[in-house]
Structure 1
Amino acid sequence: MAVSFRSVFRDGLFAGEAGIVTGAGSGIGRCTAHELAALGARVALVGRKAEKLQAVAREIAEAGGSASCYTADIREEEQVRETVRAALADFGRLDFLVNNAGGQFLAPLETISAKGWDSVLRTNLSGGFLFAREVYLQWMKQQRGGAIVNMIGEMWNGMPYMGHSGAARAGMLNFTETAALEWAPVRVNAVAPGWIASSGIDRYPPEMRDTIRALPKKVPLGRLGTESEVSAAIVFLLSPAAAFISGSWIRIDGAVPNVKSSYPLAARGTTTAFDGFHLAVKPEVLG
């Protein structure tokens, strides 16, 4: 019997539906694609590296799900347009879009070049806009329905050493709120992950290792989040249970933005992590 994602949502929740997950070759995107496929959706995996997408598609097939691969740079308008067109031709419908793809690098503001700034904004803001616009224009507008979930982040009160990403994520939140009004009844929401034990944290430079390992001590819930906990929030926002939610966002951050210098963050234990992803691997930096 195939081993599949252990979702908290009912079997077949997305049966007969199809949609796109960008940045699906690793991390939260890979996890979310697995969960949606396990719940019956046909998933279009989008990313820049074909071999990574193909590996995820094989994993999903082995678990009994259905996924197809589409290589594209989300920053390039024509590539986005053609990718949406191809997915729509293959599936015949696009019920959802998960705008997960993104990326950034650590740097103080004063050292970020114009090229570096533009690259992060195009990846974390413009690419998401382009995919959302094309899915809306090519399918959701005519169907008068569908759901889009955008990726933002824990950017409240600024993002030191990631000012380019913070600006892009804040822009994506404003885009989410605007699109929810202009594109209704298509629902447009966002998720804002905090410190998540995802494969992405292994890509930070070696000098960040001690800082990353110390992060749980700064979280009121006493730990890092899991990819499955972010995926669950995304799936909820795509689901019929969220039919009256649009223009909103869900924080998945263990209450980190609520920490106050006037209130001691004492060690009181932690919550039990939810990890339904059968292929989840603990990041090496946390080993």
Structure 2
Amino acid sequence: MSISAPPPHYDSVFRPGLFTDQVIVVTGGGSGIGRCVAHELAALGARVVITGRNEDKLARVKAEITEDGGQADTIAFDIRDEDQVKAAVAEIVKRHGAIHGLVNNAGGQFPAPMAAISKRGFDAVVTNNLTGGFLMMREVFNQSMHKTGGAVVNMTADMWNGMPGMAHSGAARAGMANLTKTAAFEWAHAHVRVNAVAPGWIASSGMDSYGPAMAPMIRSLKNNLPMKRMGLEAEVSAVICFLLSPGAAFVTGITVAIDGGAPLNNPVMPQAPHPGAPTFNGFHRATTPSVLNDDTSGAAT
């Protein structure tokens, strides 16, 4: 299959200027899905504030966005530290006046059977994927959105049937889906909408964090999906941008699955083989995870 050259800019499905004059914070914006979301939002006119713990990674993404003609700011801090979150949100409000959108993307986990997870490991993953997101939501609401309104999109995962091999992450992600519902109800009076997305197996840089021993399993994941392929970062970003947009003005308290139909897989009725469903990739700077670079079976096509 021939692959055409990518366009010199983000090829979003949304209209230009959709987020003009809006300040949108993307946590974990230095890599992976967060980087992609930051690029699309900036391409649509937002002033994007990308956050994370690694200043160098944030600076590289800011330079990319600036080179593409977008507006980006960075601030490095740890979402797991309450005092750092309070100070960082205050600094963002000081610099930009208000926060109109929050993409609670930052998180992380490690594979392990439940019986082998220590309390320290369990707590670390829950803090990364649930507590840190709660702190960001609370501070953005208390310091800005309670006055201006806005939209929050949280990150969960495909955990509907449990999350074997990552019990800590599954528990945290399920908690985030429930927290999303509570916030949507409690903050509706302030015209703040709160939704979540639940990506499945997405061909993103996070796949490279699991080490070479996991590579064969990662490459085979697409075989368990009705669409017979992994998702792309741009396919997650498009849903997030919709949930932040005026088009989702009557949408709040939901979690949108972006998983290629993973929970629908049915051993009773094997699916007819096919080469993989069509993709959408508007991200002109997208890169294939290293773990998939040697995959000749089309895992990321």
**4+ residue runs of structure 1 moved beyond 3 angstroms?**
none
Could you tell me which residue of structure 2 aligns to residue 285 of structure 1? 291
Could you tell me which residue of structure 1 aligns to residue 4 of structure 2? none
Identity of aligned residues (%): 55
Task: State the Cα distance separating 1:285 from its structure 2 match.
Answer: 1.2
Three-state SS of the structure 1 residue aligned to 2:206 is: helix
Three-state SS of the structure 2 residue aligned to 1:94 is: coil
| TM-score of the two chains, using structure 2 as the length reference | 0.93
Q: Within 5 A, what are the aligned runs for 1:67-146? A: 67-143=72-148, 145-146=149-150
Does residue 58 (structure 1) correspond to residue 81 (structure 2)? The answer is no
One-letter amino acid of the structure 2 residue matched with residue 117 of structure 1: F
Three-state SS of the structure 1 residue aligned to 2:184 is: helix
- Equivalent residue in structure 2 for 1:17, among 16, 22, 29: 22
Distance 1:77 1:254 in 2: 36
Does the 8 A contact of 1:4 with 1:64 survive in 2?
no
Three-state SS of the structure 2 residue aligned to 1:188 is: strand
Distance 1:278 1:163 in 2: 35
Distance 1:156 1:261 in 2: 17
Does the 8 A contact of 1:194 with 1:254 survive in 2?
yes
Does residue 254 (structure 1) correspond to residue 260 (structure 2)? The answer is yes
- Equivalent residue in structure 2 for 1:6, among 11, 20, 31: 11
Could you tell me which runs of 5 or more consecutive residues in structure 1 were left unpaired when the two chains were aligned: none
Task: State the Cα distance separating 1:157 from its structure 2 match.
Answer: 1.1
Greater shift, 160-169 or 198-207, is seen at 198-207
How many residues align? The count is 285
Three-state SS of the structure 2 residue aligned to 1:30 is: helix
Does the 8 A contact of 1:218 with 1:265 survive in 2?
no
Could you tell me which residue of structure 2 aligns to residue 153 of structure 1? 157
Could you tell me which residue of structure 1 aligns to residue 37 of structure 2? 32
| TM-score of the two chains, using structure 1 as the length reference | 0.98
Distance 1:269 1:255 in 2: 16
Three-state SS of the structure 2 residue aligned to 1:202 is: helix
Does residue 163 (structure 1) correspond to residue 178 (structure 2)? The answer is no
One-letter amino acid of the structure 2 residue matched with residue 177 of structure 1: K
Could you tell me which residue of structure 1 aligns to residue 296 of structure 2? none
After superposition, the CA RMSD in angstroms is 1.0
Task: State the Cα distance separating 1:206 from its structure 2 match.
Answer: 1.1
Q: Within 5 A, what are the aligned runs for 1:165-180? A: 165-180=169-184
Could you tell me which runs of 5 or more consecutive residues in structure 2 were left unpaired when the two chains were aligned: 1-6, 294-301
Could you tell me which residue of structure 2 aligns to residue 223 of structure 1? 229
Residues 65-88 of structure 1 deviation map (CA, whole Å, 9 limit, x = unaligned)? 011110110000010111111111
Task: State the Cα distance separating 1:270 from its structure 2 match.
Answer: 2.3
Distance 1:9 1:212 in 2: 31
Could you tell me which residue of structure 1 aligns to residue 278 of structure 2? 272
One-letter amino acid of the structure 1 residue matched with residue 241 of structure 2: V
Distance 2:243 2:281 in 1: 19
Distance 1:267 1:204 in 2: 29
